[in-house]
A and B are shown apart, each in its own frame.
Chain A
C-alpha cells in the first residue's frame, strides 16, 4: 500500500481552503493542492495526479458528486480515492455518496486538528482495488 502524500482539496470558500490547507500541511504533513471549483479540480487532478481527492459537496459550477463522476471519467484518475466533506450527513445521503464510489464522508464543520488523521484513517481502510 502506497503512502498518502499528495491531497487535492476542492472547496469554494477561500477561508475554509486556507484552514484545510494549514490543517493538512502543518498538522498532517501532507502536500496539498487546492481547487475552488469542480472544473478546476478536474484540471488540477489530471495534471498533478493526487493520492487522494477531498470534495466539498456544494460547489459553484458542478457539485461534488458531479465532479466525482468527472474524475472517474478520466482514465488516469479512475482509481484515485475520493472523500466527501459535507454538511449534509443524513444516512441516506451518506449512502448515496458511498454508492458513487467515495471511500468516506466527513461531516462539516470538520475538526481542523483531526482532519488529517480522519483522512489518513479513511485512506488506510479504503477497499483495495
Chain B
C-alpha cells in the first residue's frame, strides 16, 4: 500500500478546508442531493463528498458507505486530491497503491473508484466527489466529465457555504453592533445571546481576569449554570488558553483536538469553545468566550466564525471601556462626594470621630470591601510607631472583644505589632497589598475567631510624614493597583483630617493641662503670679491675694514692686531682680514684702521666664512663698548662738586666764602630775575659746554684720606676712612652707586682715594635714584679671565622699580629726564666706594619698597702689 502523498501547499490546503467550517458538521441536503445524483448517474453503490484533513477523510455527504470517516492513510481520496484531474482506479486489487488496502481487502471490498478533486476558493484541493463500487466496471471519458461537472456543482456549494457563512456573520455582527441598551451590560448580554445563536453554542461569557481569578462580568448560559459577578478559578475555564492564543482560540471539539489527552482541560467539561482575549484601553482585561459542553453540531468553526468572534471581541472591549469610563466617572464622582461629605462633616460636626466612621463606611462601600479601619500613626516614647484607630469596623467575634471594642472605641484602640500586614506599613510606610494573606510572609496570622482575611490593602496616609493609614479587607476579587489610585483623593482628605484631629487633640490636652494646672495653682498655699514682659501682673492665685491682702482686681495690671516693696526691702536684692528681668533670666530671691495692711513679712520669690511657642518671652511665672516663719526661726537660732557664745565667753576668760597663770606657776609651784593635767585643761579651754570665736564670726558673717574693711593693697606682702605668722605653728608639725610667685606686685581689693585670716586657715590646715618633714608649697600666680593663691600640701588628701561638703560648717572628714588636730570645723566655711565677700572664689583639688591644694582666686584691682595699706592699729591674741 502506498500512502497518499502530502501536497506542497498542505498548510494552505488545511486552512482552506477548516475555514469552510464543514468538518464534523451535520449532513446537508445541498450536498446530499448531489451525491444521490452521482450515485444514480453512475449506478455505483457508493457516492461520497470526502474532505481530507491532516489525518483522515471525513464524509460531508455519504451515500451507501458504512463509515463516517477513515484514516487519511487508507483513503483513495487522499490520492484523488493529488491527481491532475479525475482519478479513476479500475482495478483496486491490481493497483499497487491499493492492493493491500483494508478497504480493498476487507469490506466494502473496493474494486472501482473514481474521484474528482474539489477545490476551495484559493485553488487548494480539500476533498473529492467520488463514486465507489465493489465490482469492477467500465468508466468512460464522458463519465469522468460528468463526474467533474457534478464536482463543480459541489464546489459551487462550497463557495455558497462560505458566502453564507460570511453573510450570517455580518448579519449577526450588524445585529449586535446595533444594540444600544441604557445599561451597556444588557447590550453585552444580548450580544452574547446573538453570538451563541450564531455560533450554535450554549454559553457565552465576558470575563474579567486578575491573576488566577476569573470574574464573570456578563454571561448567557443554558439553565443559568453561570451567573453574573461569579468568581471562578482560571483553572476551571479555558481562559488561560484563550489569553495565551495569538488570535481567536477555536476548538470545535476538545475530544478531537490536540488537547484530547490533557486531563486538566478535559476536567473543565467543555467540548466546544471559541474565544478571544479582550484588550481594554491597552491593557489585557479578560476574555470573550463561547462554549458548549456538547459537540458542536455545526462542526468546525469557519473562517467567518473566527472573524466573527474576533470582531465581536473588539466590540465587547469597546463596550467594557465605556462601562469602565462610566464607572471611573461614577467612582470619581462618588469619591468627590465622599471627600466633600467627610470635609464638611469634619468641619461642622463636633464629634469628629463620627466623621472618620462615616468616611470609613464610604470607603468600604465604594471599594466593595467587607471591613477596615482608619488609624492615626503615633510614636511611643521609645520611638516605636503604633496605630490608634479613628474608625474601625466592628468585627468582634466574641463577647470579650465586643466589650473591649465598645470600651475603647471612644479613645481608639491601639495596635503596635510590627509583624503584621498593617505593621509592615506602620514600620516602613509602604503600601501593602496582599491578595493571599495566608501565604504572605509579612502577615502575622490571625487570632482564633477573627473573620477570614481573603485580601488586604494597607495604604499610608502621608502629610509631612506618615500621619495615619487606611486598612481595607476582603474586597471581592482582591485588590489591584487601581484601588490604590482610586483612594488617592480620599488619602489627601484623610491626611488633612488626621492632622487637624491631632492638632485639636493637642490643643484640647493643652487646655485640659492648663485647667488642671490653674486649679492646682489657685489652691496652692504659696502665692503664684504670672506677669507680662513689662512685669505687670496678669494673673494671681488666691493665696497671693490672701498673703498680700490685695484684692485680685487691685493686683491685675499692677507691678508687684509698686505695691509690695517698702522701706526695709533690701535695695540690692530689688536691683538684682530688675537686672535678672532685663536679661529675661530666672531668679530666686528673698525679700521683705509689705502687705496692704499689717507688718512686713519675708517672701521667697522663685521666678521663671515664660516663653510663647516661638520662644519669645511672655513674662514670668513667680512662686511667692511666705518665709516669715523660717526667717524668724533662723533669726532666733542665730541670736541664740550669739547669746550663748557671748555668755560662754566670760566664764571661759576666767578659766583660760586662771589656767595659764597656774600653769605658768604664777600661783605657786605645782606637782608634776597636776602640771600635766592643768596643761590639758588649758589647751582645751583655748580650743573652746577658738570655737566660740569662730561661731560668732560665722554668725556675724551670715547676719551680714561683718563689715569688711576693703582696701586696695599688694597681695604678695599679705601672703608673706601670713607665712611668717604661721611659721611657728608649722614648725610644730615639722612642716616647712615654700613660697613662690610669678606675678610681681599685684594689687587686690580686699580686707587684708580678713584675707590673712583665710590664709592662716589654709596654711594651718595644710601644716596640720601634712606628713612630718614635708613641705607645703604656697604659690601666687596671675592669670589675666585674676590672681590665684594656692596652698599645696603632700598630706593624706581628702576622701572623695567628703569632698562635696568640705566647705560646710562643722565638716571634718573624720570626727576624730577635731580631736586630733584641734580644728573647729568652721575654718573653711568662714574662709569661703570671706573670700566670696571679697569678690573671689575658693576651691581645692585633692587626691587621696597624694595631697590637697586649696586655692582662692581674687580679681586683680585696676587701681594703683595707694600710699598706705596699714590697717587700724590694734593687736589681737
Q: How far is the CA of A120 from the CA of B276 in the complex (A)?
A: 139
Which chain B residue has the least Cβ–Cβ distance from A19?
B657
* Closest Cβ–Cβ distance, residue B40 to chain A (whole Å): 164
Which residues on the B side are within 8 Å of A22 (C-beta)? 661, 666-667
The answer, among A20, A26, A89, A95, for a CB contact under 8 Å with B876, is A89
Tell me which residues from 75 to 129 in chain A have a Cβ below 8 Å from any Cβ of chain B: 87, 89-92, 94-95, 98, 104-114, 118, 121-122
Which residues on the B side are within 8 Å of A111 (C-beta)? 656, 660, 877
The answer, among B657, B666, B707, for a CB contact under 8 Å with A110, is B657
Which residues on the A side are within 8 Å of B656 (C-beta)? 109, 111-112
Do A112 and B660 form a contact, CB below 8 Å, given A16-B653, A23-B666, A87-B646?
A: yes
Which stretch (B64-72, B330-338, B411-419, B867-875) binds chain A?
Answer: B867-875
Interface check A44, CB cutoff 8 A = no
Tell me which residues from 775 to 793 in chain B have a Cβ below 8 Å from any Cβ of chain A: none
Docked-complex contact B666 and A109, CB < 8 angstroms: no
Docked-complex contact A13 and B654, CB < 8 angstroms: yes
Q: How far is the CA of A13 from the CA of B651 in the complex (A)?
A: 9
Docked-complex contact B666 and A104, CB < 8 angstroms: no
Q: How far is the CA of A15 from the CA of B709 in the complex (A)?
A: 35
Which residues on the A side are within 8 Å of B368 (C-beta)? none
Interface check B840, CB cutoff 8 A = no
Which chain A residue has the least Cβ–Cβ distance from B646?
A87
Interface check B841, CB cutoff 8 A = no
The tally of CB-CB contacts under 8 A between chains A and B is 89
Docked-complex contact B874 and A19, CB < 8 angstroms: no
Interface check B664, CB cutoff 8 A = yes
Which residues on the A side are within 8 Å of B709 (C-beta)? 91-92
* Closest Cβ–Cβ distance, residue A97 to chain B (whole Å): 8
Q: How far is the CA of A61 from the CA of B751 in the complex (A)?
A: 35
* Closest Cβ–Cβ distance, residue B870 to chain A (whole Å): 12
Which chain B residue has the least Cβ–Cβ distance from A99?
B872
Docked-complex contact B877 and A91, CB < 8 angstroms: no
* Closest Cβ–Cβ distance, residue B651 to chain A (whole Å): 8
B389-411: CB near A (< 8 Å → 1, else 0) gives 00000000000000000000000
Docked-complex contact A109 and B653, CB < 8 angstroms: yes
B720-763: CB near A (< 8 Å → 1, else 0) gives 00000000000000000000000000000001010000000000
Interface check B658, CB cutoff 8 A = yes
The answer, among A19, A89, A94, A95, for a CB contact under 8 Å with B654, is A19
* Closest Cβ–Cβ distance, residue A118 to chain B (whole Å): 6
Which residues on the A side are within 8 Å of B667 (C-beta)? 22, 26
Q: How far is the CA of A110 from the CA of B661 in the complex (A)?
A: 12
Which chain A residue has the least Cβ–Cβ distance from B708?
A91
Docked-complex contact B689 and A109, CB < 8 angstroms: yes
Q: How far is the CA of A13 from the CA of B872 in the complex (A)?
A: 29
Which residues on the B side are within 8 Å of A107 (C-beta)? 875-877
* Closest Cβ–Cβ distance, residue B273 to chain A (whole Å): 123
Q: How far is the CA of A107 from the CA of B650 in the complex (A)?
A: 12
Interface check A27, CB cutoff 8 A = yes
Do A23 and B661 form a contact, CB below 8 Å, given A13-B654, A16-B650, A114-B877?
A: yes
Interface check B487, CB cutoff 8 A = no
Docked-complex contact A90 and B706, CB < 8 angstroms: yes
Interface size of A as a range: 20 to 34
Q: How far is the CA of A127 from the CA of B706 in the complex (A)?
A: 29
The answer, among B653, B661, B872, for a CB contact under 8 Å with A91, is B872
Tell me which residues from 622 to 665 in chain B have a Cβ below 8 Å from any Cβ of chain A: 646, 649-654, 656-658, 660-661, 664
Docked-complex contact B871 and A112, CB < 8 angstroms: no
B653-687: CB near A (< 8 Å → 1, else 0) gives 11011101100101100000000000000000000
B697-718: CB near A (< 8 Å → 1, else 0) gives 0001000001101000000000
* Closest Cβ–Cβ distance, residue A126 to chain B (whole Å): 11
Docked-complex contact A110 and B653, CB < 8 angstroms: yes
Which residues on the B side are within 8 Å of A89 (C-beta)? 874, 876
Which residues on the B side are within 8 Å of A109 (C-beta)? 649, 652-653, 656-657, 689, 877
Tell me which residues from 80 to 101 in chain B have a Cβ below 8 Å from any Cβ of chain A: none
Which chain B residue has the least Cβ–Cβ distance from A17?
B654
Docked-complex contact A16 and B657, CB < 8 angstroms: yes
The answer, among A23, A26, A90, A118, for a CB contact under 8 Å with B875, is A118
Docked-complex contact A113 and B874, CB < 8 angstroms: no
Q: How far is the CA of A113 from the CA of B657 in the complex (A)?
A: 8
The answer, among A26, A87, A105, for a CB contact under 8 Å with B666, is A26
Q: How far is the CA of A89 from the CA of B709 in the complex (A)?
A: 13
Docked-complex contact A113 and B653, CB < 8 angstroms: no
Docked-complex contact A16 and B874, CB < 8 angstroms: no
* Closest Cβ–Cβ distance, residue A106 to chain B (whole Å): 7
Q: How far is the CA of A106 from the CA of B651 in the complex (A)?
A: 17
Docked-complex contact B874 and A20, CB < 8 angstroms: no
Docked-complex contact A112 and B661, CB < 8 angstroms: yes
Do A20 and B657 form a contact, CB below 8 Å, given A98-B873, A105-B875?
A: yes
Docked-complex contact A27 and B653, CB < 8 angstroms: no
* Closest Cβ–Cβ distance, residue B675 to chain A (whole Å): 15
Which residues on the B side are within 8 Å of A122 (C-beta)? 875
Which residues on the B side are within 8 Å of A114 (C-beta)? 877
6 residue pairs, one from A and one from B, having the closest CB atoms: A19-B657, A109-B653, A15-B654, A112-B657, A26-B666, A112-B660
Please report B residues at the A interface, Cβ cutoff 8 Å.
Answer: 646, 649-654, 656-658, 660-661, 664, 666-667, 689, 700, 706-707, 709, 751, 753, 871-877
Please report A residues at the B interface, Cβ cutoff 8 Å.
Answer: 13, 15-16, 19-20, 22-23, 26-27, 87, 89-92, 94-95, 98, 104-114, 118, 121-122
18 A-B residue pairs with Cβ-Cβ distance under 8 Å, sorted by A, are: A15-B658, A16-B653, A16-B657, A19-B657, A26-B666, A26-B667, A27-B664, A90-B706, A91-B753, A95-B872, A105-B875, A107-B875, A107-B876, A109-B657, A112-B656, A112-B657, A112-B661, A113-B666
Known: A22-B667, A91-B709, A92-B709. 11 other contacts (CB 8 A): A15-B654, A19-B658, A20-B657, A23-B657, A23-B666, A27-B661, A90-B707, A105-B874, A106-B877, A109-B877, A112-B664
